Amino acid sequence: MLFSHRKGLKQTIKLSQTDGMDDELRNRLWNCLDIFYWRRYRPKDPYGYPHTQESNLGQMFTRYWHLYFKKPLDTLDDHFPSALREIREYFFRCHWNEVYDFIEFSLTVAPESLSEGFTEFANGVLEQESSAYRFVEDQIVQITSPFEIQAVEGAITGSKHGAASEHLRQALEHLSDRKNPDFRNSIKESISAVESICRSITGDSSATLGKALTQLERDTKLHPALKQSFSALYGYTNDADGIRHAMIDAPSVGYVDAKYMLVACSAFVSYMIGKDAKTK
């Protein structure tokens, strides 16, 4: 801790940055791009003119113009420092959510060889600057706890049960849309992941959750208390009693509900995969 912080002369802890972004966070996110991409620019002819397109970042900048900015490609300056200056001007004047859009997009179009470690580095900056957002895979989402990130990412990437992973991925996409989040469909997809993993492990594609849990209790030695808690937690997933629809259609359903369901369902999926693996 620096002198000013120790003396209480400068604020050390910021409020969580959810609906905005201070200059320090924006500056450091730009530095992430600078460290991983801009400083590693290499023209195809290292002794010639610093071309934009004839370089290791040529495709990246072409996609910025064509897919992100949707500008005519003939307006892309072929002098790399000038093209980068235009990117920089946009980055420091755009709205806070567009900064996240730009970084998220950059990761999808950047050379893979340069991107290794980028999300981990960026997550460190986001955490240190008290941002409410983190990278989970290649998406920036409002999940601040590292345990929540691990639960969701582990369930999505660590499962051989493709349907369950895809449901969780869709739930994450609905939740992470910063302009038009769809909390109800996020909850639906999270619940579907639970049903899917149970059906996959039991081999019964038509099993209800209650029936699947009974079989899982027998086959994977699922503890009765855990079975009971899972049944209670996911009881409204039974279409027959209509609770699922009542819960999803409630006007009060929001981010907190959808986030809780995504994290809880991801943890359930990972837990059942682990239990299933031990029995084989």
φ, ψ of residue 236 to 5 degrees: the values are: -75, 0
pLDDT means per 10 residues, the chain with 280 residues, are 53 63 96 98 90 97 98 97 98 97 97 96 90 90 75 76 87 79 86 86 80 79 74 55 48 76 88 74
Predicted local confidence at residue 237, as pLDDT: 47
- The helix/strand/coil state of 135 is strand
| Alpha carbons 23 and 35: distance in angstroms, whole number | 18
Residue-level pLDDT at 228: 76
Nearest CA to 46 out of 56, 58, 33, 37 is that of 56
Q: Give the CA angle between residues 215, 159, 175 to the nearest 5°.
A: 100
Tokens of 205: 């594609």
Determine contact, residues 238/210, Cβ cutoff 8 Å: yes
The C-alpha atoms of residue 107 and residue 251 are separated, in whole angstroms, by 35
